[in-house]
């Protein structure tokens, strides 16, 4: 099982793999490909999403990942409340409690969670009344790739691939 740093590196590598693969998509497959590759800030944002989702499965235990996510959630919740977005604030609070419902390496370390946990990324587009565009799908894909890297490094995808906790 990889440690925090191992999951950060794994998530970064997964993000680079997804963003880098955009060069090889058929033209017209993703209209914003050129814009994404030329916009370093958006590409950096995608890498951050990949890293955050790579460490998210460990939010169910007292860890650096948990401290990071609850700090982000706290600041985001204050922003939502100050802007009168009480329903979104309540939903964020509800979502923040879900990891502690199970045990460590329980549901947060499942293949199903790898696809379900990032779905709020897609839901945000639908809630705002828009269709899910290429940016939404790309962000979701990067999130799933980051999550996948966590499960892979923990040996939960293929038992033969497992990074020992001594890798620091």
For residue range 5-31, list pLDDT tens digits in order. Answer: 899 999 999 999 998 887 777 666 665
The rounded distance, in Å, linking the Cα atoms of 43 and 118 is 18
Residue 161 neighbours by CB distance under 10 Å: 11
pLDDT of residue 97: 84
Once rounded to an integer, what is the mean pLDDT over residues 40-62? 88
- Per-chain mean pLDDT for the chain: 82
Query: For residues 37 and 41, what is the distance between their CA atoms, to the nearest angstrom?
Result: 10
pLDDT of 143 reads 94
- Name the residue among 45, 70, 72 with its Cα closest to residue 59: 70
What's the DSSP call for residue 166? Answer: T
Tens-digit pLDDT profile for residues 57-95? 888 888 888 888 889 889 989 998 998 888 888 888 888
pLDDT score of 63: 84
Q: What local confidence, expressed as pLDDT, does residue 168 receive?
A: 36
Tokens 């040996």 belong to 155
In terms of pLDDT, which residue wins out, 18 or 104? 18
Length of the chain: 168
pTM across the whole model: 0.80
Alpha helix locations (H) across 85-155?
86-97, 111-116, 119-127, 134-153
* Structure confidence at residue 166 (pLDDT): 46
Residue 5's contacts (CB-CB under 8 Å, 6 or more residues apart) are: 168
């Amino acid at each position: 099982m990889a440690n925090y740093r191992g999951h950060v590196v794994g998530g970064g590598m997964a993000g680079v793999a997804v963003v880098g693969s955009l060069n090889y998509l058929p033209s017209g497959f993703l209209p914003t490909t050129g814009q994404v590759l030329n916009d370093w800030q958006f590409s950096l944002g995608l890498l951050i999403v990949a890293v955050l989702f790579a460490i998210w499965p460990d939010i169910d235990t007292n860890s650096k990942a948990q401290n990071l996510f609850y700090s982000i959630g706290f600041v985001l919740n204050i922003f939502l409340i100050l802007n009168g977005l009480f329903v979104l604030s309540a939903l964020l609070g509800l979502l923040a409690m879900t990891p502690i419902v199970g045990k460590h390496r329980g549901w947060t370390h499942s293949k199903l969670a790898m696809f379900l946990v990032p779905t709020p990324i897609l839901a945000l587009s639908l809630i705002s009344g828009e269709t899910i565009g290429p940016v939404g799908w790309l962000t979701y894909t990067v999130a799933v790739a980051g999550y996948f890297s966590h499960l892979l490094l923990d040996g939960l995808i293929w038992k033969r691939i497992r990074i020992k906790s001594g890798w620091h």
